[in-house]
Structure 1
Amino acid sequence: MGEANKNLELISRFFECYGSGDLETMKRDILAEDVTWIIPGHHPLAGVKKGADEIIQYFATIAKANFKAEVISLSASEHNVVDVHRGWGEYGEYKVDMNWVLVYTIENGRIKSAQNFAADQHVADQFFWNVWGDDLKPVPERLKG
């Protein structure tokens, strides 16, 4: 099996683990220990996640909004996979439903890095703020207006 096919299989397994909530298998078999994951935007969960533990915690956190993903397309080369998927979630009155694109770098049969792109970053930011905004620590006095 060529590297591209192995990489497609790895990302398919990632989505299986994500869909079933099997974060332990994801951590043990799919993510590199020193993986980085870039979550775009200006919201409480945005930023660079570093290491398998931090990424697993991120996925556990977004489970609060019942996030689901349905793969639309996967393409692969020797070191990269691009996935296009529909991602949606709901928390109370707040909902998000859009396409997302992720670009993965694969090393030694594991996800080494991932970069997320939202179809509408403003909608994603608003959703994440609505769901997780109250979980943030208060803004220090020196940073207020």
Structure 2
Amino acid sequence: MTTSEDQAGVSRSDVLRGLGLTAAVAATGTLLGGGTATAQAQGSPEHPNVRLIKDYYATYGEGNPAKLRRFFAHDIKWTIPGHHPLSGAKQGVEEVLAFFRELNKAGFRAEPIFLAADGEWVVDLHRGWSTQPNGLDILWTLAFRIRHRKIVEAVNFAADQHAADAFFWKVYKLAPLPGRLD
């Protein structure tokens, strides 16, 4: 038995996949007023919105935030949780791209673990981490609303919001006063 397996022979990745399914279904049910999403059955056709989000993550992985523009509706709303310099609702493509440019400075990467679609919503569970020394490495869930093959809304959920807040405050300093107020 490897060190990444427990006594029952279940690997860490199997556990994460199971947790991903549970978290994604729960999050989707909450967003949709109590409904449930189902994971795609093996061999069934992929939901087009899941394909869109997979393509989005592949493009994100290239490290060029400008290439993400094609995935966003012009009036996109992207909500970042927490109490830190990057948190809050970003409105419109330019604000969302500015957020991604800042994430890029810390070398943020994402590794999707689970995706599920229900109507216009896609819920994903992914590992998100910074390549900066002493960076952040936690699970995130995103709820994407998609219309006309564009992301119109995204809401982030952090597995450890306190760690995320501490990291973002450490990496993204506010400009000193009084210049910050100009």
Name whichever structure is richer in strand by fraction: 1
1:5, distance to aligned residue in structure 2 (A)? 1.0
Q: Is the CA contact 1:96–1:127 (under 8 Å) kept in the aligned structure 2?
A: yes
Residues 1:6 and 2:44 are matched in the alignment: no
Which has the higher Rg, Structure 1 or Structure 2?
2
Secondary structure, counterpart of 1:111 in structure 2: strand
Residue in structure 2 matched with residue 143 of structure 1 by the alignment: none
1:57, distance to aligned residue in structure 2 (A)? 1.2
Query: For 1:71-90, what aligned pairs fall within 5 Å after superposition?
Result: 71-90=112-131
Secondary structure, counterpart of 2:102 in structure 1: helix
Secondary structure, counterpart of 2:137 in structure 1: strand
Q: Is the CA contact 1:98–1:119 (under 8 Å) kept in the aligned structure 2?
A: yes
Q: Is the CA contact 1:75–1:81 (under 8 Å) kept in the aligned structure 2?
A: yes
Residues 1:19 and 2:57 are matched in the alignment: no
TM-score after normalising by structure 2: 0.69
Gaps of 5+ in 1: 141-145
Gaps of 5+ in 2: 1-45
The whole-number CA distance in structure 2 between the counterparts of 1:32 and 1:21 is: 20
Q: Is the CA contact 2:65–2:104 (under 8 Å) kept in the aligned structure 1?
A: no
Q: Is the CA contact 2:135–2:167 (under 8 Å) kept in the aligned structure 1?
A: yes
Residue in structure 1 matched with residue 82 of structure 2 by the alignment: 41
- Which deviates more, 78-87 or 53-62? 53-62
TM-score after normalising by structure 1: 0.86
Q: Is the CA contact 1:91–1:131 (under 8 Å) kept in the aligned structure 2?
A: no
Superposed structure 1 runs of 4+ greater than 2 Å apart = 21-25, 137-140
Residue in structure 2 matched with residue 66 of structure 1 by the alignment: 107
